[in-house]
Amino acid sequence: NPRHRLSPLTCDAPGLRQSIRDALVRVVGKDPDLATPRDWLHAVSFAIRERIIERRVVTRRQFADEDVKRVYYLSMEYLIGRMLEANLRNMGILEVTQQALQDLGVDFREIARLEEDAALGNGGLGRLAACILESMATQGYPGYGYGIRYEYGMFQQHIEHFRQVEHPDNWLRFGNPWEFPRPEKTFPVRFYGYVVEHHQPDGETSCNWENGEEVLAMAYDYPTAGYERRNVNNLRLWAAKATRDFDLRYFNEGDYIRAVADKNESETISMVLYPNDATAIGKELRLKQEYFFVSASLQDIIDRHLQLEYPIDELADKAAIQLNDTHPAIAVAECMRLLLDEHRIPWDQAWTITRNLFSYTNHTLMPEALETWPVALMERVLPRHMGIIYRINHEFIEEVRHRFPGEHEFFRRLSIIDEDHGRRVRMAHLAVIGSHRVNGVAALHTSLLKQTLFADFNRVWPERFVNVTNGVTPRLWMIQANPGLTELIESRISSDWKFDLDRLKQFEPYASDDATREAFRAVKRRNKERLAALVHKRTGITIRSDVMYDVQIKRIHEYKRQLLKLLHVIELYQRIRDGEDVLPRVVLFAGKAAPGYQRAKDIIAVINEVADIVNHDPAMGDRLKCVFFPNYEVSSATIIIPAADLSEQISTAGFEASGTGNMKLALNGALTIGTLDGANIEIRDAVGTENIFIFGMTADEISAHRAQGIPPGAHLDSHPRLRSMVEALRDGFFSNGGRHLHAEIARYLLEEDPFFVLADYAAYSDACAQADRMYQDAEAWSEAALLNVARMSHFSIDRTVREYAQNIWNVVPEPVLPPC
Ligand code: 26V
Q: What is the pLDDT of residues 472-525, one digit of tens each?
A: 999 999 999 999 999 999 999 988 898 889 999 999 999 999 999 999 999 999
Residue nearest to atom 12 of ligand 1 (CA): 277
Residue from 513, 567, 524, 564 nearest 548 by CA: 524
DSSP-derived 3-state class of residue 327? coil
Residue 3 sits at φ, ψ, to 5 deg, of: -65, -20
Ligand 1 centroid vs 376 CA: distance in angstroms? 26
Give mean pLDDT, residues 514-538.
98
Ligand 1 centroid vs 355 CA: distance in angstroms? 24
Give mean pLDDT, residues 369-397.
97
Tell me which DSSP letter residue 176 carries.
-
Which class for 700: exposed (0-12), middle (13-18), buried (19 or more C-beta within 10 A)?
exposed
Which class for 261: exposed (0-12), middle (13-18), buried (19 or more C-beta within 10 A)?
exposed
Chain segment 44-59, per-residue pLDDT in tens: 999 999 999 999 999 9
Show the ligand 1 pocket: residues with CB < 6 angstroms. 122-125, 128, 274, 276-277, 280-281, 325, 363-364, 369, 371, 441, 470, 656-660, 678
Q: Is the pLDDT of residue 119 over 80?
A: yes
Residue nearest to atom 9 of ligand 1 (CA): 277
String of DSSP letters for 685-702: HHH-GGGSEE-S--HHHH
Q: Is the pLDDT of residue 436 over 70?
A: yes
* Catalytic residue positions, numbered: 363, 554-555, 560, 660, 664
Residue nearest to atom 11 of ligand 1 (CA): 277
Q: Tell me what the pLDDT averaged over the chain comes to.
A: 96
- Best residue among 277, 424, 439 to mutate for probing ligand 1's pocket (most ligand atoms within 8 Å of CB) is 277
Provide the pLDDT for residue 228. 87
Residue 627 or 737, more confident: 627
Ligand 1 centroid vs 360 CA: distance in angstroms? 14
Ligand 1 centroid vs 452 CA: distance in angstroms? 18
The ligand 1 atom nearest the CA atom of 656: 25
Residue nearest to atom 7 of ligand 1 (CA): 277
The ligand 1 atom nearest the CA atom of 678: 25
Q: Is the pLDDT of residue 678 over 90?
A: yes
Beta strands in 133-289 (DSSP E): 143-148, 156-160, 163-167, 180-191, 194-199, 205-210, 213-225, 232-242
Do the beta carbons of residue 59 and residue 230 sit within 8 Å?
Answer: yes
What domains can be seen in the chain, in order of their start residue? 67-82+117-152+165-469+803-809 (3.40.50.2000), 502-792 (3.40.50.2000)
Provide the pLDDT for residue 819. 59
Give mean pLDDT, residues 588-614.
98
Do the beta carbons of residue 71 and residue 143 sit within 8 Å?
Answer: yes
The ligand 1 atom nearest the CA atom of 660: 23
Provide the pLDDT for residue 262. 82
Interface predicted TM-score (ipTM) of this complex, two decimals: 0.94
Tell me which DSSP letter residue 269 carries.
G
How far apart, in whole angstroms, are the C-alpha atoms of residue 542 and residue 170? 30
Ligand 1 centroid vs 661 CA: distance in angstroms? 13
Q: How far apart are the first and last CA of the chain?
A: 22
What residues have CB less than 8 Å from 343, skipping those under 6 apart? 302, 312
The ligand 1 atom nearest the CA atom of 659: 23
Provide the pLDDT for residue 496. 86
Ligand 1 centroid vs 126 CA: distance in angstroms? 8
Beta strands in 757-805 (DSSP E): none
Do the beta carbons of residue 438 and residue 362 sit within 8 Å?
Answer: yes
Residue nearest to atom 10 of ligand 1 (CA): 277
Do the beta carbons of residue 611 and residue 627 sit within 8 Å?
Answer: yes
Residue 54: count other Cβ atoms within 10 Å of its Cβ. Answer: 16
Do the beta carbons of residue 534 and residue 650 sit within 8 Å?
Answer: no
Q: Is the pLDDT of residue 651 over 70?
A: yes
Q: Is the pLDDT of residue 820 over 60?
A: no
- pLDDT band for 817, please (50, 70, 90 cuts): low
How far apart, in whole angstroms, are the C-alpha atoms of residue 354 and residue 430? 12
- Best residue among 148, 284, 325, 652 to mutate for probing ligand 1's pocket (most ligand atoms within 8 Å of CB) is 325
Of all residues in the chain, what percent carry a pLDDT higher than 70?
99
Do the beta carbons of residue 278 and residue 315 sit within 8 Å?
Answer: no
Angle between helices 562-577 and 722-730 (to 10 degrees): 100
Provide the pLDDT for residue 818. 64
The ligand 1 atom nearest the CA atom of 361: 21
Greatest distance between any 2 Cα atoms in the chain: 91
- Best residue among 125, 285, 371, 468 to mutate for probing ligand 1's pocket (most ligand atoms within 8 Å of CB) is 125
Residue 351 or 261, more confident: 351
Ligand 1 centroid vs 364 CA: distance in angstroms? 6
- Best residue among 281, 293, 363 to mutate for probing ligand 1's pocket (most ligand atoms within 8 Å of CB) is 363
Give mean pLDDT, residues 431-442.
98
- pLDDT band for 75, please (50, 70, 90 cuts): very high
Pick from 70-74, 229-233, 546-550, 618-622: least confident: 229-233
Residue 75: count other Cβ atoms within 10 Å of its Cβ. Answer: 28
Q: Is the pLDDT of residue 671 over 60?
A: yes
Residue nearest to atom 2 of ligand 1 (CA): 277
Ligand 1 centroid vs 179 CA: distance in angstroms? 26
pTM: 0.97
- pLDDT band for 8, please (50, 70, 90 cuts): confident
- Parallel, antiparallel or unpaired: strands 118-120 and 372-374: unpaired
Alpha-carbon distances of 63 from 50, 57, 220, 229, 427, rounded to whole Å: 20, 10, 20, 15, 33
Ligand 1 centroid vs 125 CA: distance in angstroms? 5
Q: Is the pLDDT of residue 7 over 80?
A: no
SS3 content of the chain, % helix, strand, coil (to 5): 55, 15, 30
> With b meaning 16 or more CB within 10 Å and e meaning fewer, what string describes 547-568?
bbbbbbbbbbbbebbbbbbbbb
- pLDDT band for 445, please (50, 70, 90 cuts): very high
Chain segment 483-496, per-residue pLDDT in tens: 999 999 999 998 88
The ligand 1 atom nearest the CA atom of 657: 25
Alpha-carbon distances of 408 from 310, 392, 404, 673, rounded to whole Å: 43, 18, 9, 46
Alpha-carbon distances of 664 from 474, 476, 477, 528, 789, rounded to whole Å: 8, 10, 6, 16, 10
Residue 525: count other Cβ atoms within 10 Å of its Cβ. Answer: 14
